[in-house]
Structure 1
Amino acid sequence: HERVRQWLRVARGGARVVIGPRSALFAPLSALKLVVVDEEHDGSYKQQDFPRYHARDMAVIRAMLAGIPVVLGSATPSVESYYNATEAGKYSLLTLPERTGTAVLPPVQVVDMREEFRATGAKTTLSRALAEALQEEIAQGRQAVLLRNRLGYATFVLCRQCGRTLQCEACAVAMTFHRKALHLKCHYCGRQAPVPQECPFCGGEILQFLGEGTEKVEEAVALALPGVRVARMDRDAVRTARAFDTLWRDFEAGRISVMAGTQMVAKGHDIPNVTLVGILSADFLLGLPDFRAAERTFQLITQAAGRAGRGFLPGRVILQSFHPEHYAVQAATTHDFVSFYEKDIRYRKTVGYPPAAALARIEFRHADPAKVESLSRQAERRLRASADGEVRLLGPVDPPIPRLEGRYRKHILLRSRERRRLQALLAGLLASPLGVHSGRDMLVEVDPYVLM
C-alpha cells in the first residue's frame, strides 16, 4: 500500500526527487531531467527473476529516450561501464581522485594466511596482526568493522568417517550450521533441519563443523576481547529495516565497538570513529567459477576498506588473504582501479567475455534429470545447426549448483563478439518451442550477471 501511495504522489507531481531501488526507475515523473545510479557496480541492480533486467542499463536507456543526462557513480565501477567510458566511446568519464575533506585512503596491510598457518600451526579466524590491531584500537576508544562474506557459524558439516557433507535435500549445496539457532540451513531455498547426532549416510558419530561464517567471527572477537561489545550484521541477524536501523544507530552512538558482518557492512556507511577494517578471506570469491570473480573480489575489498578513516582519525585496513599474489588483491591493496581494470579487461578480451563479447545463458530445469538432459541436447542440436562461426556454444553442462529447489539444471552458454548474431540465434530457438513451459523449464537470459 505504501508503494502505491508513493507512486500516486509522484504521478500527481507531488515529488521533484525520487530515491529508491530498481523500481524507482519506472516512477511516473513527467518532467524528468536527470537520472543518477549510485554504486552502479552493485549486483542488486540486476533483477534475478522475471522480468530479468539490469536497472543500470535501463537507466541509460530511459535517459537516452528522454534526451537527458544519466550519472553512473561508483568508487569501483563495473568493468562494463569503465569499458564503455574509456574504450567503447559510449560514456564520458569523470573522476574524483581524492576523498572529500581531509580524509585520505587508508593503508592496507596484507596477511598471508598460508604463512600465518606455518608460523602458528593452527587455523585461526583472526590473524595475530588483526587481533593485536583490534586490541589497540578498542583500547583507545575507537571502533572496528570486520568483513566475512559468509553466513552462519560453519559453512558446511563433514562426516569424518565417510567424508561426505550434509547437503540440502532439495538443492545440491552444503547446509550451513547456525550455532545460535542450533540448526542447519540452506541459503538457497531456505530449508532448515536439526543437526543430526550421526551421519545420515554411514551412521558415523564424528561430525566436524568446517568453514567460517559471521557467527564464528563474532565468537572469535568475543574470545579475543572479553567484555567488548561485538554485534553481527547479516541477513540472518538483521531481517527488517527497523532492526537494521536500530543496530546501526547503536554502532554510530558507540554502544557497539566491533561490527562483524557480510557485505552489508561494506556498503556506503560513514562512521567517523571506525579506524580499523579487518577483511577476512574476501578472496574466497576467486574460487568461484565465474568470469566476474576477480571483479567482485576487487570491489568487495575496496568497498570494505573504504569504511576506515572516514572522519578526522586516520584509518587502517588488515586484509587476510590466501591469494595475496592475485592481481585483484594486489590492486585493491593499493586502491588502484585502473591497474585492476587493465589486467581484467585483457583477460576478458582474450577469452571472449563481456564487455568484449555478448553472452547469453540458457538454463533447463526439471524435477526429472532425464528430462533436463533430453531438453538441453535438443536445444544444443538446434543451436549448432543454426549457428555460424561468429557464435561459440558451450555445453550443455551441469552448472556449479546442479540442483536447486528440487529441480535439476543444465546450462548452455553462447558467446559472440556480434550481439545481433547472438540475438538472432536465440530468437530462432524461441520461435519453435522444444515442448517446454518457457520460463519454468527453460530460461533464456542475455547478459547474465551470475553463472552459478
Structure 2
Amino acid sequence: MAIAKVIIDVSLDKEFDYLIPETLLPQIKVGVMVRVPFGHSTREGYVLSLADSSDYTGGRLKPITGLCETRANIPEHLVTLGRWMADYYCCSQEQSIRTLLPAAVRSGKIKPRIRRLYRIADVAAAESFVACNGTKPSAALRVDLVKALLAHGAQPADSLKSLVPAFSQSGLNTLIRNKIVETVEEIVRRDVFGDSHVLPSKPLPPSADQKKALELIGKMLLGETSSHVLLLHGVTNSGKTEVYLQAIAKAREMGKSAIVLVPEISLTPQTVRRFRARFGDQLSVLHSRLSDGERFDEWNRINNGEVQIAVGARSALFAPFRNLGLIIVDEEHESSYKQSEAPRYSARDVAVMRGKLEGAVVILGSATPSAETSYNASTGKFLLARMAAQVDNKLAPRVTIVDQRLAGPPEPGKSNFFSKALITAVFDRMRRGEQSIIFLNRRGYARVMICEECGFEARCPDCSVAYTYSRQRETLTCHLCGGVIPAYELCPQCLSPKIRYAGVGTEKIESLAGAVFKPARIARMDSDTMRGADDYEAVLERFRRGELDILIGTQMIAKGLHFPNVTLVGIVNADLGLSMPDFRAPERTFQLITQVAGRAGRGDIRGEVIIQTHNPENETIQYAAQQDFDGFSKFDLEFRQLLAYPPYTHLIIVHFRGEDESMVVEFANGFTAELQRYGHEGIRFAGPSPAPIERIKGKFRYMLVIRGSRLKLLRQALRVLALHRQPPKGVEVYVDVDAQSLL
C-alpha cells in the first residue's frame, strides 16, 4: 500500500494520509501538488512524504484525486528545509511550506505571457507561391507577406504590419488556410531589467587577502574543509563583492548554482548591476518589489534551469535550484534578514541549514559580523577569512568625534544640529566638487509634538508611542500602526498656539541643510520618500552622476553604496540607538556607525568622518570611531556572557496580545506555568511582563522571555502550546525563536 502524506492549506498544522492510486504511482513524489478529497469538497495540497503504512484508524483512506499538472512543484530538498523550519521556529507546517513558493506561483492565478507568431509552414510551397504569383496584382499582398516571413522568420502581427504596409489579417488568414503560413505560440518573459544595459566587467587581480579567501572557498567547494560555512570578515571597501563574483564563477565552473542575498531591496539594483556586468543576463532577480507576473517568470526561469544565479532579498533563499553549490549572505549581521511574520525565520540561519542539507558552501560576509557569527567563527564552528585592508591599500577615513555638549545653546533663529566642524567640512567638499553623506537614523521632521503651556504630548491613541511629525505633509504619523492625522495648529488640550516640535528626524535635517548649505543640491533617502523601487534608483543615479552635493538619509544609505566621489560622512546623532532597552543596542549602534563611515573615501581621496554625539566617552562610540571591531566584540561578548544572552544562549520570546489586558495577563500566566514544566536548570524564564512598547494598534502586549541552551524539548512543548491550544477569544499568542529584539 502506497501512502502520501499531504499538507493542505487550512492552518491545522497536520498532515493527512491518502492512498496513491496505481495509475499515479510513477508521478507522485515529495513536493508534488495534488488534488485530494477533504470533507465534502476537493482541495489542493503538497505531498510532504511517502510511506508504506498509515496510523489512521478512522476507516478507509481516501485516494488522491489527481495531480495539479499546471501548478509548480516544490523540490524535495526544499520540502525538507520547510519541515525543519516549522519545527525549529514553532510555526505551522502550512506557514512554512507556503514560504517556499512566491504567492504568484503558489496561487496558480498568474499565467505565462503568450505571444502568437506567424511563420512559414512549408518553405518549398512558399517559394513556389511567390514564383507563381509574383506578377499578379490580386496576390501582391499575400506575396509581400510570404516574402517578409521568408526574409525575417517568425513574426508577430505588429511586426508584419511594419514590414508590409498594406497588411491585412484576411490576407494572412488565406495563407494559413492554404497551409503556406502557420501560427505558433511562444512564452514571452516579463523582463525585470527593461531596457537597462550594463558594461561588461572582467575579474580583477585579487589582493593577498582576497586570494587567501578564494583559495579557502575553492577547498570548501571541493568538500575538503571541516565546515561548509565561511565568515568573510572584510573591512568596508576591502573587495568582498569581488570575492563573491569570483567564488560564483568557481561554482559555475563546477556546474553548480548560486544564491546571493542582500538585506534590503534598496541594495538589490546596485548588486544586480555588478553581477550583470560580470555574468550578463544569466541571473534571476527575486524580491518583493517585482510585480506578480515578473516574480512568476523569474521563479520559473530558475525552476526550468534557464539561469544558475539568483540575486535578491530574504525570499531569494528559496530559489528552486536543484544543484545548489553556493549561498552568499551579504551584510549577514542585518536584522532585516529576520522575518517579522510567521514563520519568523532568520534567512542567515536558514541559509546555513539549506547549505548543510544540500552540500552547498555558505559565505557570510560583513565588515561588522553579528555576535553569533563572530562567536561561531572563534569556536571553529565556522571557518574564517579576514580582509583587513581596503582595496588598493587605501587609507581608512579620518574620524573626528564632536562633543555636542560643548556646542552650547543655539543662536536666536539658528540651530546647532550641525556642528561648526561639520559645516566647514561640507562647504570644503562643495568647493572641491566632492560629495557628502549626512546620516541620521530617524525619519520624519520631529520626534514629538509638545505643548509648552500644558505639557500635552501628541501620542497615538492605539500605541504606546508618540506621533512623528512630517512638515512636508503637515501630518502626525504613528510608525507602528501606520495611523495618520493632520498636525495640530493649536493644542487640543488647552487650545494654546504654543505647540512645538521636539527632536529631529531626516526631514528636518533636510530642511536645515537646505538653509545652512546654500546653494547645495540635496536629496533625502528614507522610507518616507522612497515609496517605489524606481525611487531608490532615481536618487542614487543622480548622486552617481554628480547632480547632488549632499545625500541625507537613514540606515538605507549606510551600506552597500559605492560612490568614489563621496569624501565626507557626517553622523548627526551617533548615540541615538544606545538608549533603546535592548541588549543588541550597542552592537547595532557600532554596526551602523562603522557601515556608514565606510561610505567615505572609496575613491582616490582619503575620506573623513565626523561623529556628533552627546556621549563621546561611551565605549561603543569610541570603538566605532577607531574602527576597532575586535575591541568592541570582546567588550560586547563579555557583557552578553555575564547576562546569559546570545550567543551564549538561545533567546525565545513568546508574545501575548489582546484588547482586554486582564484576559491577556491571565492567559499568559497560565501558559507560562504549563511551559515551565518542560524547563531545566539551564533555562531562564522572565515574565510574562508588559512589553517595552505596551500597546500597538490598540492591543496590550506582554512578553515571556526565555534564555538558555538545550531547548529542544521546551521548543517542542512550546510549539504544541502555541499552535494546538486555543487561546481565549480576543487573545493571540505567537513565538519568536532566536528573537532579534526585546521590543
Pairing 1:98–2:424 present: no
For residues 272 and 117 of structure 1, the distance between their equivalents in structure 2, rounded to whole angstroms, comes to: 35
Q: What is residue 293 of structure 1 aligned with on the other side?
A: 585
Secondary structure at the residue paired with 1:5?
helix
- Comparing 259-268 and 109-118, the one that deviates more: 109-118
Q: Which sections of structure 1, spanning at least 5 residues, go unmatched?
A: none
Which of 397, 401, 417 is equivalent to 1:110? 401
Secondary structure at the residue paired with 2:298?
helix
Q: Which has the bigger relative contact order, CA under 8 A and spacing at least 6?
A: 1
Q: Deviations over 1:356-415 (max 9, x none)?
A: 111110111111222222222222332345533322111122112111112111111011
Which of 488, 504, 509 is equivalent to 1:196? 488
Q: What is residue 135 of structure 1 aligned with on the other side?
A: 427
Give the fraction of aligned pairs with identical amino acids, expressed as a percent. Answer: 39
RMSD: 1.9
Pairing 1:60–2:384 present: no
Query: TM-score with structure 2 length normalisation?
Result: 0.59
Which of 313, 318, 321 is equivalent to 1:26? 318
Pairing 1:153–2:445 present: yes
1:229 counterpart letter in structure 2: R
Q: What is residue 85 of structure 1 aligned with on the other side?
A: 377
Q: What is residue 36 of structure 1 aligned with on the other side?
A: 328
Q: Structure 1 pair 432/252, CA: closer, same or farther in 2 (3 Å)?
A: closer
Q: What is residue 435 of structure 1 aligned with on the other side?
A: 727
- Comparing 109-118 and 335-344, the one that deviates more: 109-118
Offset of residue 175 of structure 1: 0.7
The answer to whether the Cα contact below 8 Å between 1:357 and 1:418 also exists between their aligned partners in 2 is: no
Secondary structure at the residue paired with 2:685?
strand
The answer to whether the Cα contact below 8 Å between 1:378 and 1:434 also exists between their aligned partners in 2 is: no
For residues 308 and 431 of structure 1, the distance between their equivalents in structure 2, rounded to whole angstroms, comes to: 49
Q: Deviations over 1:54-91 (max 9, x none)?
A: 0000100011111121100001111110000002x210
The answer to whether the Cα contact below 8 Å between 1:277 and 1:304 also exists between their aligned partners in 2 is: yes
Q: Structure 1 pair 431/130, CA: closer, same or farther in 2 (3 Å)?
A: closer
The structure with the largest alpha-carbon Rg is: 2
For residues 564 and 720 of structure 2, the distance between their equivalents in structure 1, rounded to whole angstroms, comes to: 56
Pairing 1:335–2:627 present: yes
2:394 counterpart letter in structure 1: A
2:445 counterpart letter in structure 1: Y
For residues 432 and 439 of structure 2, the distance between their equivalents in structure 1, rounded to whole angstroms, comes to: 21
Q: Which sections of structure 2, spanning at least 5 residues, go unmatched?
A: 1-292
The answer to whether the Cα contact below 8 Å between 2:685 and 2:706 also exists between their aligned partners in 1 is: yes
Pairing 1:408–2:697 present: no
Secondary structure at the residue paired with 1:28?
coil
For residues 679 and 728 of structure 2, the distance between their equivalents in structure 1, rounded to whole angstroms, comes to: 22
Q: Deviations over 1:311-354 (max 9, x none)?
A: 01111000001222222111111111110100000000000100
Q: What is residue 217 of structure 1 aligned with on the other side?
A: 509
- Comparing 281-290 and 96-105, the one that deviates more: 96-105
Pairing 1:377–2:678 present: no
- Comparing 376-385 and 340-349, the one that deviates more: 376-385
Matches within 5 A, 1:270-289: 270-289=562-581
Q: Structure 1 pair 313/99, CA: closer, same or farther in 2 (3 Å)?
A: same
Q: What is residue 444 of structure 1 aligned with on the other side?
A: 735
Q: Structure 1 pair 152/427, CA: closer, same or farther in 2 (3 Å)?
A: closer
For residues 703 and 341 of structure 2, the distance between their equivalents in structure 1, rounded to whole angstroms, comes to: 17
Q: What is residue 9 of structure 1 aligned with on the other side?
A: 301
Matches within 5 A, 1:200-349: 200-349=492-641
1:393 counterpart letter in structure 2: F
Q: Deviations over 1:232-279 (max 9, x none)?
A: 111111111111111111111111100111111112101111000000
For residues 358 and 276 of structure 1, the distance between their equivalents in structure 2, rounded to whole angstroms, comes to: 40
The answer to whether the Cα contact below 8 Å between 2:469 and 2:477 also exists between their aligned partners in 1 is: yes
Q: What is residue 366 of structure 1 aligned with on the other side?
A: 658
For residues 677 and 600 of structure 2, the distance between their equivalents in structure 1, rounded to whole angstroms, comes to: 56
Secondary structure at the residue paired with 1:242?
helix
Secondary structure at the residue paired with 1:153?
coil
Q: How many residues align?
A: 450
1:22 counterpart letter in structure 2: R
Pairing 1:47–2:348 present: no
For residues 309 and 442 of structure 2, the distance between their equivalents in structure 1, rounded to whole angstroms, comes to: 36
The answer to whether the Cα contact below 8 Å between 1:390 and 1:421 also exists between their aligned partners in 2 is: no
